[in-house]
Amino acid sequence: MYLNRVNKILLIHIMFSFGLGCASEHSERNNNFIEYKDSTKFLNEFSFKYFQIANKYKKLKKFSIAEDYYKKSIDLDSCNNVVMLNLGNLYSIQGRYIEAKYWYLKIIKRDTTYSPAYFNLAELSNQLHEYENAIEYAHRSINLIKTREDMYPRLITISYAYIMLGSCDSAKKYFEEYKKNVPQSSPAFDFDYLFFYTEQCEDLKSL
């Protein structure tokens, strides 16, 4: 089911920037994962270590322990977007959507330029069947992204929301934009969504 893809996005979406105090600094990325040069993007070494420990426990699916360590990291570095985003993601993958939403909103209340938080809110809104909100948050995220490649999954998010609202024409507009930039020959092409889109639009046309 296509909603499984939404869950996967919340798991792998780690296109984050780190906060030094309450200012923004950017990390390097490699295959959707952060490459840590050092711990200087955290306020102190302990915050960074707690964050690393939390990530390890999350991979082991020991979510309760991971939650504790994310919170310890936040206690020492309360302006760090990436830690708060990861804590929100931890709640999302457990279906604890209200708690996830709290942390995503907490980020953008402080930092209105942080695109990943808006994107995760868009994906979360689709999970909660709040499709108008999903469209709005995805557009806000698009307006803040720095690379064109980061825009493509957001187009899918918007297209999906429009399908669920029963608007195949609007869904098509965003999916066509996606296909124009991500050809089906690309390993990154989302065939799961292509099948979902085709099936759902055919059903809508038959109504």
- Which segments of the chain have a pLDDT < 50? 6-40, 207
pTM higher than the cut 0.85? no
Distances (CA, A) of 129 to 11, 123, 158: 19, 10, 13
| Residue-level pLDDT at 45 | 85
| Residue-level pLDDT at 41 | 65
| Residue-level pLDDT at 2 | 55
**By CB neighbour count within 10 A (0-12 exposed, 13-18 middle, 19+ buried), where does 89 fall?**
buried
Cβ-contact 24, 113 below 8 angstroms: yes
